[in-house]
Structure 1
Amino acid sequence: MARMHTRRRGSSGSDRPAAETPPEWSDVDANAVEERVVELAEQGHAPSEIGVILRDEGVQGVPVPDVSLVCEKSVTDILADNDAAPEVPEDLYNLMAKAVRLNDHLRENGTDHQNKRARQNVESKIRRLVNYYRGDELDAEFTYTVDKAREIVE
């Protein structure tokens, strides 16, 4: 599939091996994994960071290769069930943080045309994601502005 704002194709990456059950060496209790996921979310970690932490550190000394194989739910589903889900989806939050950084940079460097274009592209992606999430994970009246993004990020 092609990239959104360039004429190039994306580079393909490796895929995880398809598995329907967790490996034998990972005999972790699903309840312990869910408790650890909620605990890490309360510490302020994003869902993708939680997956990396569980893969590297594990639960009770045993690494968790894939949370969805062990618990039969994704990290975001576990967080939603325990009322610990972030107020804005992670991909949208990261784009908003990038737009805020670009805005701050352009306030000091007004003639940086390359970053003006980058900000336009990022804000275009944000508007598309807001339309995608509107009603389900965002309010029906949510609209993107830089000031609103700054409030969410800070």
Structure 2
Amino acid sequence: MARMHTRKRGKSGSTRMALIERPSWIQSDDEIKEEILKFKKEGLSNSMIGIKLRDQYTVPGVRPVLHQKMAKILEENGIKDDIPEDLAFLLKRYKNVSKHLLLNSKDISNKRGSQLIMSKILRLMRYYKRTGRLSADWSLKRAL
């Protein structure tokens, strides 16, 4: 698949382990769910929780093992993010670039980069409002 704002192809990625049956070394479902909740209460993002589970607890993936997405597990336990993770990271990136542009106003390439980041933010925002993950009255001004 091509990247969004260039004519080049995307980066290649690794393939996940195909799970036909549950590996013997994996802990019970309840222990994995407890670890997920513990990490989330420590303030880790969902992607960082997945990386920690993969590297320290040898869980190849939450969804293939528990047959549920991590966001659904967190939602069942009353922990839900206000803004989806990918949109939050794009907002953080836009803030950093705009802070850089205040100090370096002639940096044209970063000015273009901030425009591309904003277009991605607006596209994701429309998608999340349409699917119901963001409320219809959610505005970008509050987030920035």
Same fold (TM over 0.5): yes
Q: Give deviations 1:38-82, integer Å, cap 9, x for gaps.
A: 111111000000011111222xxxx22221232211111111111
Structure 2 portions without partners, runs of 5+: none
Q: How does 1:99-118 map to 2 (within 5 A)?
A: 99-118=94-113
Q: Deviation of residue 83 (structure 1)? A: 1.5
Q: Aligned letter for 1:49? A: M
TM-align CA RMSD: 1.4
| TM-score when normalising by structure 1 | 0.86
1:149 matches 2:129? no
Moved over 2 A (4+): 11-14
Distance 2:128 2:69 in 1: 18
Task: Indicate if the aligned counterparts of 1:22 and 1:65 stay in contact, CA closer than 8 A.
Answer: no
Structure 1 portions without partners, runs of 5+: none
Query: What is the percentage of aligned positions where both structures have the same residue?
Result: 38
SS in 2 for 1:83: coil
Distance 1:20 1:86 in 2: 32
Q: Deviation of residue 18 (structure 1)? A: 2.2
Q: Give deviations 1:70-122, integer Å, cap 9, x for gaps.
A: 22111111111111121111100000000000110111111111000000000
Task: Indicate if the aligned counterparts of 2:17 and 2:60 stay in contact, CA closer than 8 A.
Answer: no
How many equivalent pairs are there?
Answer: 143
Distance 1:20 1:88, change over 3 A: farther
